[in-house]
Amino acid sequence: MTRGDMMARVAVAAALAMLAGLFRAAAERPNILVIVADDLGYADVGFQGCKEIPTPHLDRLARSGIRCTDGYVSHPFCSPTRAGLMTGRYQQRFGHENNPAWLPNDLIAGLPLGETTLPQLLKEAGYVTGMVGKWHLGAHPQFHPCARGFDEYFGLRGGGHDYFEHNLFKEDPEKAEATEYKIPLHRNREPVEESEYLTDAFGREAAAFVARHQGETWFLYLAFNAPHSPLQVPQAYLDRVKGIASEKRRTYAAMICAMDDAIGRTLGAMQASGKEKDTLVFFFSDNGGPVAVTEASNAPLRGAKGDVFEGGIRVPFIVSWPARVKPGEYRRPVCSIDVLATSVAVGGAPCPEKPMDGVNIVPFLTGEREGDPHARLFWRTGGGATYAVREGDLKLTCPKEGRPQLFDLSADIGETKDLSASLPEKMAALMEAYRAWDGELIQPLFQSPRSGKKGKTKK
């Protein structure tokens, strides 16, 4: 054998080894399922201790993974949280600090086109990307899910929808705000008629996506609008929670049961595909429960949706990946902005060009890394009308029309004892950290629409 032949064989062997490594890495990449509830109370699922609302499928998911007791979202209401989730960045960095109005001709009110999204990154890495459910990141066609990285889409593109009546109006920009909850659903880029109860339809579509792509590596974003108002649910779900006296809370609870069934249908399809252990699953709510609207419970937390108290931003939070992460509890702060960083790390996807605020939390959940994933977490609403900072167990909270307060969450999860006077140096340090972070942000690009016009209640 000549020296040239030997070198050629070595080159071929090296190439084969490299290809084998790539194939092995691809085989080890998990499917990724991100499930987001809408306006779910912190205490309103079984794995959080709720006794009156049965959520067997979510409870099973929690048992299969990690219950993050200090799981947060990056904003206390809908659309900004979703913008942070999709980009892995504090949404205030790019002005997405409010809910966009349903204005199909508006080129500004939506997730800015300069931001790279999670499905775009995973798609580049070879994932099939799908979304089912609520988008709420802009009404103009340029903001459509299929224009932001999703191969397949089924759902509602606005901030909410009637659960029974899906086809009453065609999209009319002149009647946009009045008809947002009545416009047709979309399959990919086209309007589609639908007759099934909306939460049930989302479960059907999510399970079908999993079954359809069981031979591929996929990413699915399952974003419910349940249990967000309007409070509407079939009688069969009401029958499961008939022991709840209040009609409003009973209807809200029944909507959670419907969502749990839809999640169970999706998890069942995953199990049938043989990929249950090899799928990384996240579950959380987009914000805390709106107590006055639905009688949700955020106990033992203070506050509700819209607040920077814990009740607005700390949410039920599960991370499950049986092949890598042992079941248990994780008691240090994690956040919804971590989903992107975690997903691109385990999925072998490229990192976005802009710096991420989220971190890969898998090494922390497995015990490979110690300490808090974040030195600090920050929140801001209304361009600075309210704000909060958490560092370790200390949290500075500044509510609307109030003064900054300091709480030790390890001893006072309900934020009842203000320590700002007794710990002035800690208070000053957190204020300085907030001001430095705030200085990196921009003002909101658009304002939230006026409230109301959410559709009629129906059972």
Instruction: List the catalytic residues.
Output: 78, 136
Q: How many degrees, rounded to 5, is the angle at CA 190 between CA 141 and CA 140?
A: 15
CA separation, residue 195 to residues 92, 133, 232, 411 (Å): 38, 15, 15, 50
Residue 268 buriedness (CB in 10 A; 0-12 / 13-18 / 19+) = middle
State the Cα–Cα distance between residues 340 and 20, nearest whole angstrom. Answer: 27
Cα separations (Å) of 133 from 6, 42, 162, 178, 208?
Answer: 57, 21, 13, 20, 14
Q: How many CA atoms lie within 13 A of 398 on its CB side?
A: 20
CA atoms within 13 A on the CB side of 158: 24
Residue pair 26/126 in contact by the 8 Å Cβ criterion: yes
Burial of 291 (0-12, 13-18, 19+ CB in 10 A): middle
What DSSP element (H or E) covers 438? Answer: helix 424-438
Q: Provide DSSP, 316-328.
A: -EEEE-TTT--SE
